[in-house]
Amino acid sequence: MTDPDLSQRLANVRGGIADAARLAGRSVDDITTVVVTKFQPVSLVRELLELGVRDFGESRHQEAQVKAAELAGSGIRWHFVGQVQGKKARQVRAYSSVIHSVDRESLVAGLATPVADQGESTAELDSSVVDCFVQVNLTEDPARGGVSIPDLAPLVERVLSAPGLRLLGLMAVAPLGAEPKRSFALVSELGAQMRGIAPDARYLSMGMSQDYAAAIAEGATHLRIGTAITGNRPAAVNLKTS
């Protein structure tokens, strides 16, 4: 049994996406909706699976790892949308289909597959490829995550030369207080510039619960939508209360 409110919210968002796509003269088939389930229980992910959702987003490694293990074999594509700690990079890679938040050169080394030393057998080497986005920071605040615009091109080059990573394009979060449509237009422009060095990186991960229509108008191909579908997130459990 699925919660009628959940299926209603999902239907509303799907309708909103279809409307925004129509207005933009775009096909909904070119838009992937990632339902962000951070802080939500596995039971909610299962309900969404029953409702046909296959792309799920998580932003905290430990939580994502537990959910991915519990739901192994379900056909879910996990999208990692949070900041990746360097020492957890290989673990994040292990369960993720897409990593949306590549934001620094040191992380690329951690995410890439190891290259065989000369003479070493290649039989045991990981030949898998993981899709990724480079996250761009549209603010002046480094804590918001993402590479600064001046450092974007070198990071893109670094990803392109890393074995085992396939660059899909750019990801961004619209800054608070700014007009989302203008922010997304900038990301779209940066994406077009970047295709000079990465012709296949034509995807854009942008748009959340409050601003997905504006993102679709500016060419988003991957929406990351949480609360508009899931309802409010449970308050973060404070582990330090005892």
Binding site for ligand PLP (CB under 6 A): 36, 38, 59, 81-82, 173, 208-209, 224-228
Nearer to ligand PLP, 36 or 68 (CB): 36
Tokens standing for residue 223 = 């929406």
Cα–Cα distance measured from residue 232 to residue 167, given in angstroms and rounded to the nearest whole number = 32
Q: How far is the CB of 13 from ligand PLP (least distance, A)?
A: 10
Encode burial over 229-240: b for 16+ CB neighbours within 10 A, e otherwise: bbeeeeeeeeee
3-state secondary structure of 79: strand
The single-letter code of the amino acid at 61 is H
Whose CB is nearest to ligand PLP? 226
Q: Which of 193, 186, 195 is nearest to 220 (CA)?
A: 186
**In terms of CB distance, is 164 or 231 closer to ligand PLP?**
231
- The residues that bridge with 195 in the sheet, in sequence order, are none
Pick 95 or 133: Cβ nearer ligand PLP: 133
Smallest gap from Cβ 35 to ligand PLP, in A, equals: 9
Q: 97 or 209: whose CB is closer to ligand PLP? A: 209
Q: Report, in Å, the least distance between residue 89 CB and ligand PLP.
A: 17
Q: How far apart are CA 99 and CA 130, in angstroms?
A: 8
Name the minimum Å distance from CB 70 to ligand PLP. 20
CB of 90 to ligand PLP, least distance (A): 21
Q: Rounded to whole angstroms, how far apart are CA atoms 166 and 141?
A: 28
- Closest to ligand PLP by CB, 152 vs 225, is 225
